[in-house]
Structure 1
């Protein structure tokens, strides 16, 4: 199962980087979201996909799950949601003001 999750994480990183290299602002934002989702899966995979009881001490349970990867992923999801919403608002403002979302046209011309 870890191998499948690692491959899926790699695919998300690959498509995220591909989208980051595009010229449209919306694709760049989608690329950052895909990279953050790939990081979430990578953190979950590094924490080992074990099944067990919740980390509450009881006498008859011998195998517990580690809550740290889930806590890190939850924090990362909240941060990536904030970053994605900020990028969407900035992209909306830039496209309304400049009437384009193409990065080459947003750079301007050095001769002007």
Structure 2
């Protein structure tokens, strides 16, 4: 599991991104349960995620409407199957409007770059 914390901050909201190998919806739930063992992530406002499996795409916005689809589109463009990406947001008290989608995209991009650096792939 790769976790990158405090990667984006905007108007009080803070973002983190994490991910790792995952092959199914059940494995995604297990991944999230493991992530939320860290109380900081358990208390997050949103843990939005996307996953491309052999059976098709799976996503969950976790209240951050549209975020799961943004993550899925980026995974599809990258051709990354079998790896979950979770974008975590701690709400800072001010609405971000459309900027929240840009932050989700930036978070996924940061994860993908860190993953490439770590694996060399």
* Fold similarity call, TM over 0.5: no
Task: Compare the two structures and name the one with the higher helix fraction.
Answer: 1
- TM-score of the two chains, using structure 1 as the length reference: 0.29
Higher fraction of strand: 2
Structure number with bigger Rg: 1
- Higher relative CO (Cα under 8 Å, sequence separation at least 6) belongs to 2
